[in-house]
A and B are shown apart, each in its own frame.
Chain A
């Protein structure tokens, strides 16, 4: 009872409030619609008699939160740029001090008064060991992925897939330790055998010692990237539309023909992306290779003699006794590695993005 006279009195005395509340929604709705904040909010149409919509404030919580999240997003770009900038900043003085050609010199002695170091042998070793590892790992990984997705009973496939995912999480230092202490023995025997019967091939030539070789490093690397490639390509194979598979089978295809005509073509971009990601991982692998390669400098295609080196392994091994220039030289080599992996990754991602558009339009 006490409220009503007040209202009516208010309306009677000119009703500033009432008129304001009528003008408000129109102005507010226009403002809200213009504001970028509410591009996706369904509100702001100005309909409904619910009364005033809140005004979009200039420095409200909405703006602050949006700005904060945007800054976090920008941080990613900043970090990538900062990696390049700081590596370059520290690499340039060392490169200036290098008395030999950085690209072609075979050797790494940046700590002396006349620093001499070259990336050529390291880059060669990196590419050789990664390529060899992928050559071994990819067919096996695709075989396992096909086994898990199309051959094994469903329960077995799921359980083993889980196991493979777990193996992908095993740290590289563990693989390095295993390769150095355990796996080296069969590999050494195998190398001796290869040298005895295939020694006439230059890649299996030489007269020892064998063991801590590119072959051991590449095999350990292959075992490490195997779970990654397997779990990625298994997921791709599982996504093959059942209709395609059943159509192939209904036309009388055998199981292999079904895989060749329905599963593999559908999964090809995914396989390529998985292989590229495995390559990225192999190129950047540090500790396992630092522990299994016999560190030498020199370009050689011999796979079984002690030797071999990669950019990342060299950083781990040479960091301990590096001085100012030595650190700069290592950072310069890291910059080269960064560039290589960046190219590989961008290519892989570009392939995946193309595929994503393809599947979305097909769906």
Chain B
């Protein structure tokens, strides 16, 4: 037994060391950095000066940061409801025994295997384009006037819509795997008892998918807090308030933007800590809300 313990120690040592050096150390350093004035992310600790909660006060007083938080919460809440609802709907349809299940599953998942850069370019240049975009062609076909989908009023929603389009397939697959794990006997018994498809969905599928829904909400929260590339694609030259999200704000603070050379790694670290706390909070809330989901069937 003693020998086994030694074996366990030596075999786990590299993994533990990797975790400590590559994960725990950066996290601790970032948390610590958020309480100091630090210009460069690689500045030595000797160059740091204690700032208390100054960085946190600074970011929460910043109009740009608050706008970015508002945008992120909208993507999380509105985008989350639409994405997860659509994914659930499609998962239910695809698993309902329709013909061509594999085809539909592949088509809906397709946007996930296309590079997000290509996907965003397609939306910007071919769908939202003012002159020859697909949406304005449809609007004009029905006698309407062309719409500025990428104007300041609609840009955020256009970006969110494109992001949702690229995300639905991923969550659909998660739900499909959850639904396929539910024993068919339950549905057969419910059918014999006279339950319709809607009742089966609300009384069997949804309750038994609680754990999967909890996981998908956590994944969605992580996806939206790390939302970056779509903003960069929809604001190609420089950051705009209609598309800014906290990670972009963090990026601009730490590295500077176009024509901007000021850097504030301390404030960037504070943004990182706030985002981490948000993800933890969402995780804890979903844990609480979906408590007692460990059903066995």
Partners in one complex: no
Chain B residues packing against A (C-beta within 8 Å): none
